[in-house]
Structure 1
């Protein structure tokens, strides 16, 4: 089994970086010849990717993509410091996503076979 850590930094709809990270993560989970364990740590403006009730006018839906990953067994944590700084700590999150700390990210990084930053 391969442990892959994704670190996201970009807002969900300001650019396509978070979208592309989630596309790759979903695709990795769908590869039949390779078993993977995915962990996603959302930092900076990407923490808003895990907020509920997203209704983008058109195109991709980041909330749905994260829900797919969570259903596939991925772990999703949001940086507590980043959430506090943006006043988002008390807002409801997608079911399965949780607030994490720099200690969580450090442990995930040490245990990862690969770290991808978007």
Structure 2
């Protein structure tokens, strides 16, 4: 475990309409499948906070909720920006299992602890 890398993914875009969040999650999942051990943290900001809402039913193509669930099952931590959730009126809505509301302090600590910070 001495070679483990801690990676922080900061996502900003809505789950659909742009592929930025999709591409960030795709990379995170793929990194977890490499031979080098990783610790993945995902912080959802701005419109990406809606990525962690349950019961998504995209017509076809990728499914961001499922991708987050895969990452969580792989051991990733997922937090949503509290300020961003409040601004969008979703603070009281249920989230997918394993995701939780976080703060700027959480993001700051994850940033300081990360070997790499990747923003989408």
TM-score, normalised to structure 1's length? 0.98
Tell me the equivalent position of 1:42: 44
**Offset, 1:14:** 1.5
Tell me the equivalent position of 1:19: 22
Partner SS for 1:66: helix
Give runs of ≥4 in structure 1 deviating > 6 Å: none
Distance in 2 of aligned mates of 1:5 and 1:14? 23
Cα RMSD, aligned residues only: 0.4
Q: Does 1:58 align with 2:89?
A: no
**Offset, 1:2:** 0.3
Q: Does 1:4 align with 2:7?
A: yes
TM-score, normalised to structure 2's length? 0.97
What is the number of equivalent residue pairs in this alignment?
117
Distance in 1 of aligned mates of 2:74 and 2:96? 14
Partner SS for 1:87: coil
- The unaligned stretches of length 5 or more in structure 1 are none
Tell me the equivalent position of 1:105: 107
**Offset, 1:10:** 0.2
Note the alpha carbon deviations across 1:16-63, whole angstroms, 9 max, x for none. 00000000000000012x000000000000000000000000100000
